[in-house]
């Protein structure tokens, strides 16, 4: 019988000291030129905060987009951080980042923060941020049809080993909707060879249906699924977006809708040689996703995506997954777009995850089995690292 341990303390310690593989971000390796975003002006003009600005300030989106980036971030700081208390998840995140970097969280202006970031050496800063965030590597979002991004890859730069590629399909499936399966397959083969992605990924509308008459359905069948199978890489499906519900808000203008997950059932059962990483945006779809994961071992649920990445909802979803799937899921990804967001997003995930796991182990102890530190280490390692490595068949 293992020794009695202070479960809460050990869980907290193990979660804090296990480096995370962040399986979906919008960050870029420094080698990929100016694509990567970092610093105070980018942190404050994050689209999650832009959506919040328009609720508390009379400026309209058209006027806001005409401003320089620094004027936009000044306005967001003044509105959401000085005239209001930053209690929302996205605003509190900025406070958490400033605090972690030793900057004034009560500042009247962004002067000090701008100076701090201006004198930064990017390579050192990346290492420092990853260290503070407890992240060992991140997966990027790489779109071969983005001309700026393609130019960087074609220049032959080798990305930093802590930044892994994911081949994003959204634009391919729309811009090449009239192309043959063979043409899309050829493009995918070229880019898999160039990027060596850990997976291919696509975000899909709440109305996504497979199979269907839509070109995306045909291209998935004729090109994407065979390519993933032949290259032995999973396909990530991110389902439930309602694009541009309010186009004036640009990136902040997307919404959410409940999807029919029978399409996931069809994909997992008709393509048993493919593996699917799946995240769903609607809270109402979460339970079904867990049930499907119990039916299909080629399905790996991951993350609490976008509007779900709030402690109350993360807690509910993570408990549900643990109860239905044990540790066979990937609890979270950060979706960070700005480097320093890794700090707050992973701090928040760890803080939410610790009491959930502790509670599960306490229930288990009450029912007659005490866990050891080694059990906890193995479980946390699986959820924060090895489930992803095993599912992708790669060391990350």
Interface ranges with ligand RAT (CB under 6 A)? 26, 141, 203, 238, 251, 306, 335, 337
**Is position 89 an interface residue for Zn ion (rule: CB under 5 A)?**
no
b/e 176-212 (16+ beta carbons within 10 angstroms → b): beebebeebbebbeebbebbebbbbbbbbebebbbee
For residue 142, the cross-strand partners are: 167
Instruction: In angstroms, give the least distance from the CB of 194 to ligand RAT.
Output: 21
- CA nearest to 347, candidates 40, 132, 45, 126: 132
| Nearer CB in complex with ligand RAT: 253/355 | 253
Instruction: In angstroms, give the least distance from the CB of 16 to Zn ion.
Output: 25
| Nearer CB in complex with ligand RAT: 238/376 | 238
Is the distance from CB of 303 to CB of 23 less than 8 angstroms?
yes
DSSP labels, 60-115: -HHHHHHS-HHHHHHHHIIIIIISS---SHHHHHHHHHHHHTT--TT-SSSHHHHH
| Nearer CB in complex with Zn ion: 335/340 | 335
Instruction: In angstroms, give the least distance from the CB of 278 to ligand RAT.
Output: 13
- CA nearest to 160, candidates 189, 127, 192, 129: 127
Residue 358 contacts which entry, Zn ion, ligand RAT, none (Cβ below 5-8 A, type-dependent) = none
What DSSP designation does 385 have?
A: I
| Nearer CB in complex with Zn ion: 137/358 | 137
| Nearer CB in complex with Zn ion: 358/392 | 392
320-339 positions binding Zn ion, by CB under 5 A? 335
Instruction: In angstroms, give the least distance from the CB of 335 to ligand RAT.
Output: 4
Instruction: In angstroms, give the least distance from the CB of 216 to ligand RAT.
Output: 15
Angle between helices 47-56 and 69-76 (to 10 degrees): 60
Q: Which residue's beta carbon is nearest to the bound Zn ion?
A: 335
| Nearer CB in complex with Zn ion: 191/307 | 307
Peptide bond into 220 cis (omega under 30): no
| Nearer CB in complex with ligand RAT: 310/327 | 310
Residue 352 contacts which entry, Zn ion, ligand RAT, none (Cβ below 5-8 A, type-dependent) = none
Residue 317 contacts which entry, ligand RAT, Zn ion, none (Cβ below 5-8 A, type-dependent) = none
Instruction: In angstroms, give the least distance from the CB of 310 to ligand RAT.
Output: 12
Instruction: In angstroms, give the least distance from the CB of 133 to ligand RAT.
Output: 17
Is the distance from CB of 325 to CB of 301 less than 8 angstroms?
yes
145-184 positions binding Zn ion, by CB under 5 A? none
Is the distance from CB of 308 to CB of 317 less than 8 angstroms?
yes
Which parts of this chain interact with Zn ion (CB under 5 A)? 335
């Amino acid at each position: 019988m293992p020794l009695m341990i202070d479960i809460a303390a050990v869980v907290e310690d193990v979660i804090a000291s296990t480096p995370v593989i962040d399986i979906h971000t919008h960050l870029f390796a420094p080698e990929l030129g100016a694509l990567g975003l970092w610093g105070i002006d980018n942190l404050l003009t994050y689209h999650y905060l832009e959506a919040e600005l328009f609720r508390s300030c009379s400026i309209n989106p058209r006027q806001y987009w005409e401003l320089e980036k620094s004027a936009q971030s000044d306005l967001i700081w003044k509105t959401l951080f000085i005239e209001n208390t930053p209690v929302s998840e996205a605003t509190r995140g900025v406070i958490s980042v400033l605090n972690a970097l030793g900057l004034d969280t009560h500042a009247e202006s962004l002067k000090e923060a701008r100076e701090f970031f201006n004198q930064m050496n990017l390579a050192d800063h990346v290492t420092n941020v990853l260290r503070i965030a407890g992240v060992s590597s991140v997966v990027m979002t790489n779109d071969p049809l983005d001309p700026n991004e393609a130019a960087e890859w074609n220049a032959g730069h080798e990305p930093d080993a802590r930044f892994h590629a994911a081949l994003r399909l959204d634009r391919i499936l729309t811009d090449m909707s009239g192309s043959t399966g063979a043409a899309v397959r050829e493009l995918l083969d070229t880019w898999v060879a160039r990027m060596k992605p850990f997976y291919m990924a696509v975000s899909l509308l709440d109305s996504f249906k497979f199979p269907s008459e839509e070109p995306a359905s045909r291209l998935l069948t004729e090109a994407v699924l065979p390519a993933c199978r032949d290259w032995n890489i999973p396909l990530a499906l991110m389902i439930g977006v309602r694009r541009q519900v309010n186009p004036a808000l640009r990136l902040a203008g997307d919404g959410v809708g409940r999807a029919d997950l029978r399409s996931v059932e069809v994909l997992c059962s008709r393509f048993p040689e493919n593996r699917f990483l799946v995240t769903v945006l609607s809270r109402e779809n979460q339970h079904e996703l867990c049930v499907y994961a119990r039916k299909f071992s080629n399905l790996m649920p991951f993350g609490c995506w976008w509007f779900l990445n709030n402690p109350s909802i993360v807690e509910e979803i993570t408990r549900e997954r643990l109860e239905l799937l044990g540790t066979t899921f990937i609890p979270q990804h950060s979706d960070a777009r700005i480097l320093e967001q890794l700090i707050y997003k992973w701090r928040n995930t760890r803080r939410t995850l610790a009491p959930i796991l502790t509670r599960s182990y306490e229930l288990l102890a009450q029912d007659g089995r005490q866990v050891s530190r080694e059990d906890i280490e193995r479980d946390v390692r699986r959820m924060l690292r090895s489930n992803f490595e095993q599912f992708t068949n790669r060391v990350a």
